[in-house]
Structure 1
Amino acid sequence: MNQIHKHPHPHKRSFLQLSALALLAPAALLASAQQAPAATTTVEAEAVVRHHAVLVEAVYADTLAAAKDLQSAIAAFVAAPSAEALDKARQAWRAAREFYGQTEAFRFYGGPIDDARGPEGRLNAWPLDEAYVDAVAGKPKAGLINNPKFRISKASLSQANERGGEENISAGWHAIEFLLWGQDRSETGPGERSPDDFIDGRAPNADRRRQYLAVVTELLIDDLSFLANAWAPGARNYRAKFEQGGRESVRKMIVGLGSLSRGELAGERLEVALNSQDQEDEHSCFSDNTHRDAVTNALGIQNVWLGQYTRRDGSLLQGPGLRDLVAAKKPDLAERTTAQIAASVAAAEAIQAPFDREIAGAKDAPGRLRVRKTIDSLVAQSKLLVDAAAAVGIAKLTLVQP
């Protein structure tokens, strides 16, 4: 894991007309036996928008709570590094990613996450050049951690993020992931960083490594708190404007789903890796969590479409969603879109770990076929989302370029 491929980051891609995209052939539509039928009553756009704000707030609140659990686990590990404490921190990272992955459906329309001041590039940018952060195989003195002139603070980590190159990632989920797992040099599992890297006398700059891990996690909490506050109820914030946005807010919701479906998840996160068969193009490559990234991204799309979200405590948040709005105009289209989105979630769930083995081999290798099936389903649903937008009177959509 030493070579970096410079494909565009998700927060830096250009926009174009959705209708002008060259879309792949759609996969077969699959009905979901577990999916409830679309509502038959008339739903107003305002009600869908208001409930969406409630849903977004809930997902960010759960993400922040899970990230604080991660912070506690990391604090315990930093205080007394051990294999057991490191394993608990890794488990907490995976658990928090389950919720953050579902927030990706709230992107791509200039909202708080990725507007000009948004923290997306500091939260989830990738691929990460490991040598920018810490020592790697063959470069024992590489990285900010091993540079005594670099002062480790939230401000300095933020300023260093993407400085001098898009792969120079110093903050966010994947910087934390790299520190917890290390380079993934195994074909059958994730990275195997030793807790000794954080113990004085057993590894150079262990104290700075502990400090870096603690500070970069605190910065993550700050950024997630910013997003939670932007969607909090009863405040003069982005949510207040969004709730008053009417049809424009509905357009943003569909843009987010279409962009994540085609340009980001099907394109950047799956198709690029499938074509290159390169581990560097894997989203969460250090932890081998990429298969779950795909599932949670697909689930986030389904959440918004249905107006449903299963909370961290297991309760179901439910209300009017985009499906209901479309069903009032074109019930058949609403059902076909619902079935296709369910098919995408199911296809993503079939992708096996480790992802870097799924994308390897001949064109007809079982793993490659599973990834291709997911891509095709996501592309098919993006076409249906265009039709759904038209059904509710929205013609002008923009989507990130695949």
Structure 2
Amino acid sequence: MLRQTMTAISLAMLASAAHAATPEEVVANYADIAEAAYGDSLTTARALRDAIGDLIENPSEETLMAAKTAWTVARAPYQQTEAYRFGNAIVDDWEGRVNAWPLDEGLIDYVAEDTPSAEDNELAQLNVIATPSLELGSETLDAAEITPDTIRALHEAGGIEANVASGYHAIEFLLWGQDLNGTGPGAGERPFTDYATGEACTGENCDRRGAYLVAAADLLISDLEEMVANWEEGGEARTAVTTDAQAGLNAMLTGMGSLSYGEQAGERMKLGLMLNDPEEEHDCFSDQTHLSHYYDGLGIQNVYLGRYTRTDGSEVTGPSLSELVAEADPAVDEALKADLDATMTALTELRDKAEAGTAYDQMLAPGNTEGEAIITAAVDALVAQTQEIERAVAALGLNSIAFEGSDSLDNPDAVFE
């Protein structure tokens, strides 16, 4: 009986070894997850467009709130794709159209009178919604009708990145308006009458504001359609990571490490904390930054574990980086999985604190020691997992990867100075 049991165990071990994950299978699953996550981003963007249509057709507190809710829902799958940005040039070149921030919102619409203008951006308070003919340097842009092409022409006008005219954050601003509460409670408070008709309209230009919002939503959909196609069978992004599996693995780990360290821990979290500046938070109009941070962290973990939970509850799963690293160095795999779990624990605490009533911008307030501790714990966890990601690169025998900010890994504070 003992001999039979040992034989069964041996056969099981041999079967497992025979079906160990290969780099080719891992990068194929990585591409499948990208296709699914961008597909969910597209589906939820279409639902957002429908909600915006309802708002424009029947402006009310209810339809404005429904559009805001649809925006929040649409962000969840998209933020989980950000781990694909840094390792894939196709995604990085495209990303600025859909998720660029921070933005000089006065380019788009009215802002408070005391809103500072960037000294190097003469278009910072252009207000295209109130201006049917625009002077862009030596050129004149006819904006009598606001269309997706109008918005595309405005985006990063003058070569200035803060001139964000398209994407999630432009739509966010048009739904919430400026958050004028600083580090106090409250998000943007745009009234639904900004989209009303006739005498019910707040001030002027409600029709043009509605046209801009609709055009921005249509443009977001077309941009997402482009990226979904890039990850489908035969798509350029899928081909780039699957043709050369080793290059694909490099892309995966580059995306994980760069988002973890220089982007999320540094630009999106530590910088705002150092400056106590709510203008440095990612979703500053809606006060939804805690969700962006949470889903960014989850996206990094998804890439490593080779899994993604779709918006319909189904799961895309397959051969993973974790399996490859475990085969090369089990200790590195266990350490990295533990660090990814620790990061998600810290980001969950941050999310839950915000959902309980203390928004992310309030946590940034000078003297808020509890908020500072919560944000710092997440930053520290992201830095720690980046160091383990570097160990995973070495375990797999890949070429050294220059993560964003990774030249300062031996001096973690330096990247944030």
Pairwise TM-score range, normalised by the shorter structure? 0.7 to 0.9
Q: Which residue of 1 aligns with 2:13?
A: none
Q: Deviation string for 1:310-366 (max 9, x for gaps)?
A: 11111122111111110001111101100101111110111132111112133x711
| 3-state secondary structure, aligned to 2:92 | coil
Deviations 1:17-49 (CA, angstroms, capped at 9, x unpaired): xxxxxxxxxxxxxxxxxxxxxx98732111101
Q: Is the 8 A contact 1:162 1:170 kept in 2?
A: yes
Q: 2:107 aligns with which of 132, 135, 139?
A: 132
Structure 1 window deviating more from structure 2 (140-149 vs 328-337): it is 140-149
Distance 1:111 1:166, change over 3 A: closer
Q: State the alpha-carbon separation in 2 of the partners of residues 328 and 285 from structure 1.
A: 43
For residue 398 of structure 1, the aligned residue among 399, 402, 408 is: 402
Structure 1: runs of 5 or more not aligned: 1-38
Conserved in 2, the CA contact under 8 Å of 1:109 and 1:252? Answer: yes
The 5 A counterparts of 1:168-317 are: 168-186=163-181, 187-200=184-197, 201=199, 202=201, 203-233=203-233, 235-317=234-316
Taking the aligned partners of 1:51 and 1:188, their CA distance within structure 2 comes to: 42
The equivalent residue for 1:14 is none
Task: Name the counterpart of 1:4.
Answer: none
Question: Which residue does 2:65 correspond to in 1?
Answer: 87
1:59 to 30, 37, 41: 37
Conserved? CA contact 1:48–1:320, under 8 Å: yes
Contact map agreement 1:50 1:243 (CA 8 A) in 2: yes
Between the aligned partners of 1:321 and 1:250, the Cα distance in structure 2 is 10
Q: Which runs of 5+ in 2 are unaligned?
A: 1-15, 116-124, 135-142, 406-414
Q: Which residue, out of 355, 370, 375, partners 1:371?
A: 375
TM-score by length of 2: 0.83
Q: Shift of the alpha carbon at 1:103?
A: 0.5
Offset of 1:144 from its aligned partner? Answer: 0.9
Alignment equivalent of 1:99, drawn from 56, 77, 96? 77
For 1:139 and 1:122, the matched residues in 2 are separated by: 28
Q: CA deviation at 1:285?
A: 0.5
Matching residue within 92, 95, 108 for 2:86: 108
- Root-mean-square deviation (CA, aligned residues, Å) is 1.6
Code of the residue aligned with 1:148 in structure 2: it is P
* Amino acid of the structure 2 residue aligned with 1:212: Y
Paired letter, 1:167 = A
Residue type matched to 2:324 in 1?
Answer: L
Are the aligned partners of 1:43 and 1:328 in contact in 2 as well (CA < 8 Å)? Answer: no
Bigger shift: residues 320-329 or 145-154? 145-154
Q: Aligned equivalents of 2:343 and 2:300: distance in 1?
A: 10
The answer (yes or no) to whether the contact 1:76–1:85 under 8 Å persists in 2 is: yes
Describe the shift of the 1:344–1:387 C-alpha distance in structure 2 as closer, same or farther (beyond 3 A).
same
Cα gap change, 1:142 to 1:194, in 2 (>3 Å): farther
2:129 corresponding residue in structure 1: 145
Measure how far apart 1:69 and its partner are.
0.5
The C-alpha deviation readout for 1:268-296, integer Å capped at 9, x for no partner, is 10011110111110110000000000000
Higher helix proportion, which one?
2
The corresponding residue for 2:411 is none
| 3-state SS of 2:316 partner | strand
CA contact 2:107–2:128 (8 Å) conserved in 1? yes
Shift in Å at residue 139 of structure 1?
7.5
CA apart distance, 1:370: 0.5
Query: How far off is 1:137 after superposition?
Result: 1.3
Q: CA deviation at 1:236?
A: 4.9
Q: Distance in 1 between matches of 2:244 and 2:59?
A: 49
- Note if contact 1:308-1:318 (Cα within 8 Å) is conserved in structure 2: yes
What is the number of equivalent residue pairs in this alignment? Answer: 359
> Is the aligned partner of 1:48 residue 2:26?
yes
What does residue 357 of structure 1 align with?
362
| Mapped partners of 2:80, 2:186: distance in 1 | 24
User: Contact 1:153 / 1:215 at 8 angstroms: preserved in 2?
Assistant: yes
- Tell me, in whole angstroms, the C-alpha distance in 1 between the residues paired with 2:153 and 2:244: 34
Read off the aligned partner of 1:302 and give its amino acid letter. Q
Q: TM-score, normalised by structure 1?
A: 0.86
**8 Å Cα contact 2:56-2:210 kept in structure 1:** yes
SS in 2 for 1:309: strand
Matched residues in 1 for 2:75 and 2:307: separation? 19
Q: 1:320 to 1:291 in 2, by over 3 A?
A: same
User: SS at 1:123's partner residue?
Assistant: helix
Q: Distance in 2 between matches of 1:398 and 1:73?
A: 42
Given that 2:109 and 2:127 are in contact with CA atoms closer than 8 Å, whether structure 1 keeps it comes out as: yes
Q: Aligned residue for 2:339?
A: 340
CA distance in 1, matches of 2:263, 2:291: 15
The 5 Å alignment of 1:5-44 reads: 42-44=20-22
Contact 2:87 2:250 in 1 (8 A): no
Structure 1 position 240, deviation (Å): 2.5
Aligned position for 1:33: none
Retained in 2: the 8 A contact 1:131–1:139?
no
Distance in 1, Cα, partners of 2:235 & 2:215: 30
CA shift at 1:396, angstroms? Answer: 2.0
